[in-house]
Structure 1
């Protein structure tokens, strides 16, 4: 059976006092905390965790409502701009002469921004998966290595296959000849 409103209010008040005391650095076994009605320091600790979880659930609910409202606003804007961004309409030049048909490119840009905002709001942007592995697909050591060890690892990886080239930009790759230059490109 759920707690009565009076019991809920009493629990909320006790938890508020507990949180206030803990924020002041009062330990769980202090008489001020035990005086709130807790049988032990463990009971007080568990109740603090319950209070934090309850607030987290309340915050999550509020965030969910906010996200829903913002999503509805963005949907309304998207619906208003969609026809201009997708349907061809007559285009007239500066002097009023008919030029042709096309979509409103400004509306297309705004639609793209709205779609990007929705993706960000709802967490639809997936981070790029990246996996780094050592020679032969094994683990990469994370300790510091010397230049000799690094060159050994590079030579063990082998030269890239010229037939398997792609458009990857290799400007940021290690070049041992750069070792003798400082940040300005001058010889060290």
Structure 2
């Protein structure tokens, strides 16, 4: 089996999209798998789904895959489609971040010129705000160190408790139990 051609890749993408749509609609895995199966004898619509699950077996005239194999294929499709969408979203986020950085650069240039040339305090403040926004957008600021401390700056003590002790504590603080 070689690499799928353009039409086959489009059909596979359509199948994955259909699998996600069905899963989002709350359809169980076996129903999804049967609806998107290549062999009309197991396909719930009674048709051969293009590039459906078990297409290789169907083309060779073999028995269709077992339910577990169909379910596995449907799960794999949904995982792959979600990974692809996540990658697309990450690419879109990176592109948007670069666009926003370019916009901030243009605004900074205008505000900076006015701040330096006119020594305008409002322009200086605006320049600093643009710089702060750009640093947050690009992650240039050092992370803020946070520290958890107990009473008077001492250590934090952690204790385990039983379910009964926890229930008793909840009942003590629950205004409805009064």
| In 2, Cα distance between equivalents of 1:19 and 1:32 | 12
Uncovered stretches (5+) of structure 1, i.e. residues with no partner: 90-102, 145-188
Contact kept in structure 1, 2:115 and 2:121, CA below 8 Å: yes
What displacement does 1:133 show?
Answer: 5.2
Counterpart check, 1:59 vs 2:75: no
**Partner residue, 1:12:** 13
1:102-181 correspondence runs (5 A): 103-132=119-148, 140-141=157-158
Counterpart check, 1:32 vs 2:62: no
Contact kept in structure 1, 2:149 and 2:155, CA below 8 Å: yes
Q: How many matched pairs?
A: 130
Higher helix share: 2
What displacement does 1:143 show?
Answer: 6.1
What displacement does 1:32 show?
Answer: 2.2
**Higher gyration radius (CA):** 1
**Partner residue, 2:63:** none
**Partner residue, 1:161:** none
TM-score (norm 1): 0.59
Note closer, same or farther for the CA distance 1:2–1:83 as it changes in structure 2 (3 Å cut).
Answer: farther
What displacement does 1:115 show?
Answer: 1.1
What displacement does 1:3 show?
Answer: 3.9
**Partner residue, 2:74:** 44
Contact kept in structure 1, 2:15 and 2:36, CA below 8 Å: no
TM-score (norm 2): 0.62
- Structure number with greater CO (CA < 8 Å, separation at least 6) is 2
1:66-110 deviation digits (Å, cap 9, x = unpaired):
1111110110111122122234x4xxxxxxxxxxxxx11111011
Higher strand share: 1
SS at 2:130's partner residue?
A: helix
What displacement does 1:127 show?
Answer: 4.1
Uncovered stretches (5+) of structure 2, i.e. residues with no partner: 38-42, 44-48, 54-68, 162-178
Instruction: Give the alignment's Cα RMSD to 1 decimal.
Output: 2.8
| In 2, Cα distance between equivalents of 1:130 and 1:26 | 45
SS at 1:40's partner residue?
A: helix
| In 2, Cα distance between equivalents of 1:131 and 1:142 | 19
